[in-house]
Structure 1
Amino acid sequence: MRTTSSITVGRAAEIGLLGDVLSAARQRAGGAVFLLGEAGIGKSRLAGECAYQAYGLGLPVLRGRGSSTGTVTPFRPLIEALSSRFRAAGPPADLELAPYRPALARLVPEWRDGASAAGTGAYPETVVELAEALLRLLAVLGRDQGCVLLLEDLHDTDAETVAVLEYLVDNLDGLPVLLLGTLRAEPGPALDLVRTAERRRAATVAELRPLPPAEVAALAAAILESEVADVPAAVIDQLAARGDGCPYLVEELLADMLDSRALHRGEDGRWTLPGGPRTGVPSTIVRSWSRRIDQLDPQVRELLLTAATLGSRFSVTTVQLITGYDDRTLFSHLRSASEANMIVPDGAAPDRYAFRHALTADAVTAALAPAERAALARRAARAIVRTDPELADERRQLVASLLLAGGDRAGAAVHFAEAGRRMLEAGAASSAVILLERARELAGDAERTTVTERLLPALAEAGQLDRAFELARTLPPVHADRGPARTPAVERRIDLHTRLAWAAVMAERGPDAVAQVAAVRTLSADRPRPEQDAALAVVEGHLALLPVHDPQDRTDTATRLAEAERRARQAAEVAERAGLPVVACQAWQLLALLARERGFDAADACLERMLAVAEAHALPVWRVEALLRLGANAFMRTGDGTRLERAREAAAGLGAIMLTQTLDGLLAMNAVLRGEWDTAREIVDRCLDATARLRNLAAHRYLLLCSATLAAHRGRGRETERELARFRQAGGEESFLMPLRYGLCRAVGALLAEDRAGATAELAAGLVWEQEHPSVFYLAGRHGLHPLLEVADGRWGRAELDRAVASPAAELAWNRQFLGFAEAVLLGREGRPAEATRAVTEARLTAAPFPLAHHLALRLTAEAALADGWGDPVTWLRTAEEYFHQAEVQPVAAACRTLLRRAGASVAQHRGGRDAVPARLRTCGVTVREYEVFVLLAARPGNQELARKLSISPRTVEKHMANLLAKTGRTDRAGLCDLASELCGEG
């Protein structure tokens, strides 16, 4: 008789909760629910009930579970979940998922294409990038009616999966997704995540309690296919007393009663327990399973015992390696075990079977004597190593666990350490930390140092820098050999401290980086090998750019940066000769930053070399880094963002989500400077939340500053301050972005409020900041807007402007426009009006891509031209006034009108219909009424006909005609009619 029930007994509150959250997910009110309880308490049964409800409602269900073998496999539950849904159907075709396909391909290898295939060129996406990709996939999958991600046995899952789940839990609100997880209340990362999420009210936790006696009776009746009243009271008493309210134990105790014939149907068909209640020690679950196994064929028994040493789920291939059975014999024995209701096929993985319950495998192995269990584990480990010496995938971890179970701690440590090394190379740093920490605990004193040296880079890559630096201080000292050769131990330690220094400098932890560099210098006796010095030079070069550098270094900034550039160039050459392409790319990237002070041709040459190295050595991430910087330089030099767009396409195609977000920020700022407000707003709105979720702090701060700069360039002061407050809350005022905040944002905003003193003060503050900190931002005002204001206000003369123009940053289009207008103002002041006018014409050509800056500079230049009597300030002011009126920047528009009146020029009245006047005529001051006359002139009518058609007097027509001739510069009526014929199609 079947001794399990498909009916869920009790759990009414939990079933109601699951129904509610399913309904919420269908209404785009997603969330996370975790079922918490001991083994056998009914978590999987409830999860299955939820899946059944979801299927009935038409919701897709993605189902996976943690590993029960003790091995660490990054993202295993997620891989199973996606495979359960997409193995046959293939990936969703939605275009919005295209940028995330490379990251998702890590979970579903079948989705990999040539660009994202695994190998040396694969992009090592971060866990948060992968989590964001999964979040987008789930949102698309549940777009119509919601979806469920069901993950079981999370207590057995890996650190990377826990990190992904933490991200999902925090970001499901507003999405059509239900995350349902099950786990035991066992200490570990998964339980920590669940408890933390519960405290933050980011997830709902349902703790499953033991069934009360009445529900135990209902469960027994369901199994026996009887009414509760027909089940002997003694049976229910025993089940309640000995089953502890655990459904699995109740089922097993009942099965034991049935197997032993203690419980059976009498001749009248009623259930009977002839012996009455048992008063001695009850038959335990272990003895029950032992008896069942003993009844099986010996070879089937051996197979089950072997499988149980591997955990509650096991690979058929691994069992075959250990037992040596051929396919026919193996599957015959598996079938026998399945028919005995001991194992079941694992639906999530075709090559796997699972014991009927997680406790079943424990009960099977517990039936063995300790010595027999240890011998069985050692035999299994030897068999696996003998048949698979390379120990690929999870098998090395499995061998380590078997050796540990067999009492060989040293052997287990060796295999855990090697598994951790491989995991780190595969980019799973958090899982590598777990394995290496395990190896460190098992290793003897002699081996512990070597394991620790492997652990430290894993900690650094996993973001656990504090733990890494703390552990590094516990390493026993190694003594540097003052001779020409150093011991391998010293060489390893030098490499270790260099890697930690690079991690520290990338995290902008200057003091920690300085300490690691000092350790390298001490170990190498200040005589590192050329390859070591190359890697060290890159670290020290970045240190020179950090606000915090070696406090003992009293060298001035310029000298320090010059020395950093010299050493970085030498490092690039050494790295290329020594076959160290990553160090070479790091060096060329650093050189490109440092070379900007000499000119952008030099910087681009470094980046082109970096690009060549990356492409020659199949380093796609470094290739995109090079394209990003080349695109940024091209935009600064020309105002054209085409190369930035191409770099973004390359980053998105690679699945480099964080690099893509960096490029989105640059494109957003590009759009702001070009006056493409809607484009800038769309990019910021699309990317801001995602950068916050990914904790991509650099890109997030930059996008916040873009948002503030966008508001400032539209003359929206309150909105600017609100966005700057968000920038400040994100730590922006402790970042390298401050020059942009002073000059590109606040100074421009002040000018649009006609607060020239405020703009000057902001630019001055930016200059002070840049004097105290190395800056890589060349559009912040120091090289363009600041010189224009200084010249316009009479504080700068020819010598100061010539120095500004001689700077390499003067060649950048954004700066060049302002410097061109400054040159015009200075020429006009020097009494060279013709040259000044030509300078304005040239500056306006340069300024064409930047309409706001163009018209703002035109307004400043026109004021100077009026004062000094040169050029065509009236036309320039009308052009600027028209632009700022249309842009709704009223302070500047009003200032232009005031200057026009001062010049004795007419001021346009912005009546209805003015937009119909072509820009060419609006800038000449043509009014709406004058344009009505102008349009009719294309047919060359007389004044009387014009007066009749427009219902105005002939005298008024004559007045309009005179104004049109004066404003358009035409000498006679015929010329005016020709112009009307030319422009009558414009509007």
Structure 2
Amino acid sequence: MPLVGRESETAALRAALDDCRAGIGTTVLLAGEPGIGKTTLAGAVAGWAREAGTVVLTGRTGPEIGTPPLWPWWQVLHGRPEHDVLAALPEADGDVAALRGQRLRAFETVARGLQDRPGGTVVVLEDLHWADEATLALLAHVTGRPGVLAVGTYRSTERPPALRAGLVALDRAGARRLDLRTWSGAEIAAVAADVHPGWRPVLLELSGGVPLHVRELVATLRAAGLADSPPARPGWPLGIPASLADITAERLSRLSPTAREAVGAAAVAGDAVGCAELAALCGLGADDALAALDEAAGAGLLVASGPAPDRHAFPHALLRDAVYAGLPAGRRVAVHRAAAAAVAAGTMPGEPVTHLLASATDEPSRAAAVRACLAAAAGSRAVPDRAAAVLDAALALPGVADADRCALLLAAAEAEFAAGLAEAANHRCTTAADLAAGLDGPARAAVLARASLVVRGLGGPVNTTVLELAGRALSALAAHTPDDDATRARVLAQRALAAADVLGFDELGDDPAEAFRLAERSGDGLALFDALRARQHAASGPDGVAERLEIARRMAGLTHPADAGLWGSIWRIDAALQLGTIETVDGELARLAVLAEQLGWPLAHWHRHRMTAAVALLQGRFVEAEEAADTALDWARRTEDRSAVAIDTAFRTELHRLQGRAGELVPALEDAARHAGTMPIFQAHAGSMLAAVGDTVGARYWLDRLRPVLEDLPHDGRWLPTVASTAQLGADLGDTDVAAVCARLLAPYAGYFIAGGSGSVRCDGSVSRVLGVATAAAGSRDEAIRHLEAAVVAEDRAGALPYRTMSEIALAGLLVQDPARLDLARLDAAAGHAERAAATARRLGMPEELCRADGVLVTIRRARQDRTGLTPREREITTLLAEGRTNREIAGRLVLSERTVESHVANVLGKLGLARRAQVAGWVAEHGPVR
């Protein structure tokens, strides 16, 4: 069949095939409306490849609800060893984490099996607009593999979420899109060369230039014997087949009853059919089935598919849809029921859910469809979008019992939460909870409890709904299942965590302890998991760090659920940052990376990359910190956790401040104030940022908000960073009262580092540094020096170079502040700290700290000069010695005797602590001209 109007596409595809045969891989996506010619082009590529001796593998997706994930790839890999790799993936019983990890390994095995084959490999995947997320993900994984040309087709008029996300991933992987246009009048003329020219305007108007419609209309003209004659009158004379459905019905009518039955059965089956399927669906024997298939193929309604002689499929999905729509309802239901039985018996591929849904016409058949949908969704846990689609199809059935509707809603909510759609999941949970009002007591309690536990581990507005659901669930559990310790423990823990986020840390009450007691008594692993989360949050203040380490150990030891190890690792990192034991963090980060890959959750990847960024920032690796933060932010936006995105702003304020770029984030800070302006931790960080850019009025505004609440801040995970930032802010603004209060509050934690105890955003160095700054502002200079000396040691040990730099600058400045105690030893100590701070600031890229260090060094030089005790005459002589003048030259210049000059030179050397006159020039170069 000629490729009319496809010259540029043909050139691009032939070039891609040549590249494939030369060992270069690519993916080409053919897009357009139904009937535009995507299948024709894909078939042409396959034909060219076969002629060149290149292996061609084909697969097709289908629109049926319940089609197994990766179904077209099963077709592509049929008979190949990679097929067994996909077949080995677990279906219904595995955790999402395990499924994601195994899926990634399986994808890599498939890709490697296809690549680098002599002559290349062509993979054709049709109708990707119906593809599940996993199918598209594997296509993206294969894209660019050496010697693999993948050709995919999809309808541009249908863009479900899986396809939209898949196209983004494919674009990133380097796939090329070709959007096919409709035919012009000239191109229709080329196709209809044997049709009288008078028909061509009619064909263009009626078809809209869609190639499939054009070809069907032309075929109808030929079949009616009218193609050779001009139109007798304007318009379409053959019953006006305004849609492909009408054309298809007319062509079907010319088939024998047996062939029509076979084509109808093929439309119900949805995929290629052969003798086995027609025997199950129509009761046809092998000979009758083959004859029917041959007749349908002769009429162009079916085409041979695959190497087996009896395998036939529709040439285009739109044609299959037209046939299906024309089937009488009773016939459709009967064939679907037969198909469901055949799939269940293993004589047909697929899942029974597709056919059970289509044949659910009474209470027993609806119940069977619901059970099948729940099972299919459980088997698609690694593909949440497909699971939700299956469950929604069951929910759309009329007359489904309330208990079943609740089960479907909650299963769909769990799928949506796994996909990062927390708000949608909460909406379903609320709907299920409301619907449960009509159930008996224990059933209602079970639904409410499950609804309250779906959305977890997030911050932000979603917790308002979670808190309300947990309250309803606890009331129902107390009334109807008071002895269910495990469920009550889980819901108590969930309520505690939601209340802490929505109402504040003080609202935790006794829930964490009670949840832990009930969980331990029940021995239920899931209950213990939830109870440990609540207990960890209750101990998130700095006094609870030892307890949190024990909680983390227990959490990491749980085998279920899949994310237990994730939280155990995160909590150990939090504790290590707060204790300053940074040497233990690297191992935990490596473990966190493995866990994130295994789980595949956006939330897990976010935690991994934000923790990586925090450690890089602490150690002064600013470029790495920003790169990791960018990656973390990308994952955060997929979680629907608004606090995750806000955390990025808090991280970048510190990164930019250290880099001298604080002004860049002031607009973002003002925007964030609308959402977080009532939070003390935000107020403290905002004030510090404004002070850093010189906005003392704005900084004092936030300090005034903090002043009255300092003593009463809840001792939660935010307490230490909040008080430490407030201490620095008070010192910056010269507020001695605030500085003194913060110094008193922080004193018990002098050996800690400034990090949160429940999801550290960053680690801002030693508490002792802030204590030193605050006590200095409050007037206790000696105590401040001791704190800063301790900070330098602690930050040096942790490799916290940016913060050691700040501690050394502050320490050097304090050492030279008291002229009465300023001896040479003190000056040398101050100079050592300031010089190292300047060198580190220069190397890391901290311009403002470099400026401060240089300022301290200037002060030290002047202090050295002031302490020399040189007389005015000796200063003159020192200057001349630095210029290299001899005693005679100095005597002549100053009108002195050489003996007098010798005496002055000896005094200068003694006072400067030098042995030789040649050293004077070096002293002046280091300390500046004497004054």
Instruction: Tell me, yes or no, whether TM beats 0.5.
Output: yes
Q: 1:309 to 1:604 in 2, by over 3 A?
A: same
Is residue 792 of structure 2 the alignment partner of residue 844 of structure 1?
A: yes
Alpha carbons of structure 1 residues 70 and 711: separation in structure 2 relative to 1, 3 Å: closer
Q: Does 1:356 align with 2:315?
A: yes
Unmatched tracts of structure 1, length 5 or more: 1-5, 23-29, 92-99, 114-129, 181-204, 222-227, 264-270, 481-486, 550-556, 908-929, 934-942, 945-954, 977-987
Q: What secondary structure, in the 3-state scheme, does the structure 1 residue paired with 2:153 have?
A: strand
Look up the match of 2:611. 666
The code of the aligned residue for 2:535 comes to L
Contact kept in structure 2, 1:743 and 1:766, CA below 8 Å: yes
Structure 2 equivalent of residue 805 of structure 1: 747
CA distance in 1 between counterparts of 2:456 and 2:308 reads 38
Pairing 1:427-506 to 2, within 5 Å after superposition: 427=381, 428-444=383-399, 447-459=401-413, 461-462=415-416, 463=421, 464-465=424-425, 467-468=427-428, 471-472=431-432, 475=435, 477-478=437-438, 487-499=441-453, 502=455
- Contact kept? 2:731, 2:773, Cα under 8 Å: no
Instruction: Tell me the distance in 1 between the aligned counterparts of 2:147 and 2:665.
Output: 36
The match for 2:586 is 642
Aligned-residue sequence identity (percent) comes to 18
Deviations 1:34-60 (A, max 9, x none): 85535x35353466679999999xx99
Contact 2:751 2:768 in 1 (8 A): no
- Cα shift readout 1:350-396 (whole Å, capped 9, x = no counterpart): 997521233544565678666555444444444444557xx9x8422
The AA in structure 2 aligned to 1:517 is: A
- Cα separation, 2, equivalents of 1:661 and 1:964: 64
Give a deviation string over 1:403-455, Cα, whole Å, max 9, x none.
24xx557514631453145315632444344333332332326x145224421
Residues 351 and 538 of structure 1: CA distance in aligned 2, closer, same or farther (over 3 Å): farther
- In structure 2, how many angstroms separate the alpha carbons of the residues matched to 1:82 and 1:691? 36
Match of 2:476 in 1: 523
The answer to whether the 8 Å contact 1:36/1:206 transfers is yes
Output the amino acid matched with 1:37. Answer: E
Contact 1:346 1:353 in 2 (8 A): yes
Question: Does structure 1 residue 311 correspond to structure 2 residue 270?
Answer: yes
The CA RMSD measured in Å over matched residues stands at 6.1
Partner of 2:377: 423
Question: Which of residues 3, 12, 25 in structure 2 aligns to 1:8?
Answer: 3
Aligned mates of 1:341, 1:52 — CA distance in 2: 19
Task: Map 1:50-199 onto structure 2 (within 5 A).
Answer: 66-69=61-64, 71-74=66-69, 103=100, 106=103, 109=106, 111=108, 138=140, 141-142=143-144, 150-153=152-155, 161-162=162-163, 164-165=165-166, 167-168=168-169, 172=171, 176-179=174-177
Q: CA deviation at 1:111?
A: 3.9
* Structure 2 residue aligned with 1:563: 510
**1:584-599 aligned within 5 A:** 584-597=528-541, 598-599=543-544
Residue 403 (str. 1) matches residue 347 (str. 2): no
CA contact (8 A) 2:59 2:73 kept: yes
Name the counterpart of 2:465. Answer: 512
User: TM-score normalized by structure 2?
Assistant: 0.69
SS at structure 2 position matched to 1:152: strand
CA–CA distance in 2 between the matches of 1:33 and 1:368?
Answer: 33
User: In structure 2, the residue corresponding to 1:531 is in which secondary structure?
Assistant: helix
- Give the 3 Å change call, closer, same or farther, for CA 438–363 of structure 1 in structure 2: closer
Determine the structure 1 residue equivalent to 2:492: 537
Partner of 1:605: 550
Whether the 8 Å contact between 2:66 and 2:354 is mirrored in structure 1 is: yes
Q: 1:608: how far off? A: 0.6
SS at match of 2:396: helix
Give matches, 1:367-382, under 5 Å: 371-382=330-341
Give the conservation status (yes or no) of the 8 Å contact 1:763–1:781: no
Q: Distance in 1 between matches of 2:45 and 2:451?
A: 51
Paired position in structure 2 for 1:224? none
User: Closer, same or farther in 2 for the Cα pair 1:347/1:725, shift >3 Å?
Assistant: farther
Classify the secondary structure of the residue corresponding to 2:512.
helix
The answer on 1:573 being equivalent to 2:525 is no
What is the DSSP-based 3-state SS (H/G/I as helix, E as strand, rest coil) of the residue aligned with 1:857? helix
Aligned partner of residue 596 in structure 1, secondary structure: coil
Structure 1 position 20, deviation (Å)? 14
Deviates more, 1:80-89 or 1:622-631: 80-89
Contact 1:573 1:584 in 2 (8 A): yes
Instruction: Tell me the equivalent position of 1:623.
Output: 565
CA displacement, residues 116-172 of structure 1 (integer Å, 9 cap, x when unaligned): xxxxxxxxxxxxxx9899789849945999987733257788x55245247559xx4
d(CA) in 2 for partners of 1:545, 1:701: 17
1:723 maps to 665
Counterpart CA distance in 1 for 2:207 and 2:578 is 74
Which of 767, 777, 781 matches 2:718? 777
Is 2:812–2:831's contact at 8 Å kept on the other side of the alignment?
no
2:652 and 2:355 mapped to 1: Cα distance? 55
Counterpart of 1:195 in structure 2 is none
**CA deviation map 1:471-490 (0-9, x unaligned):** 3475262477xxxxxx4433
In structure 2, the gaps of 5 or more residues are 18-25, 87-96, 111-131, 241-245, 756-762, 868-880, 888-899, 920-931
| Inter-partner Cα distance in structure 2 for 1:898 and 1:276 | 103
3-state secondary structure, aligned to 2:510: helix
* Residue 289 (str. 1) matches residue 289 (str. 2): no
Note the 1:713-792 alignment, pairs <5 A.
Answer: 713-714=658-659, 716=660, 719-726=661-668, 734=675, 747=688, 750=691, 775-777=716-718, 780=721, 782-783=723-724, 786=727
Question: What amino acid sits opposite 2:449 in the alignment?
Answer: D
CA distance 1:314–1:106, change in 2 (3 Å): farther
The code of the aligned residue for 2:390 comes to L
1:783–1:65 distance in 2 versus 1, CA, 3 Å: same
Per the normalisation by structure 1, the TM-score is: 0.65
Cα distance in 2 for residues equivalent to 1:781 and 1:143: 51
What does the per-residue CA deviation read over 1:657-683, in whole Å, with 9 as the maximum and x for residues that have no partner? 542332222222222222222332343
Change (3 A) 1:635 1:242: closer
Q: What amino acid does structure 2 have at the position aligned with 1:624?
A: L
Secondary structure class of the residue paired with 1:477:
helix
Give runs of aligned pairs for residues 23-42 of structure 1, distance below 5 A: 35-38=31-34, 40-42=35-37
Q: Secondary structure at the match of 1:514?
A: helix
Q: What does residue 115 of structure 2 align with?
A: none
Q: Closer, same or farther in 2 for the Cα pair 1:802/1:839, shift >3 Å?
A: same
Give, as a single letter, the amino acid of the residue that structure 2 aligns with 1:414: A
Residue identity opposite 1:220 in structure 2: A
Partner of 2:852: 892
Take 1:313 and 1:956, find their aligned partners in 2: how far apart are those partners? 111
Distance 1:798 1:131, change over 3 A: same
Alignment partners' CA distance in 2, 1:681 and 1:78: 39
Name the amino acid aligned to 1:584. L
In 2, Cα distance between the equivalents of 1:351 and 1:777?
A: 69
Residues 1:712 and 1:797: Cα distance change in structure 2 (over 3 Å): closer
CA contact (8 A) 1:416 1:439 kept: yes
Partners of 1:530 and 1:137 in 2: CA distance: 47
Displacement of 1:533 after TM fit? 1.4
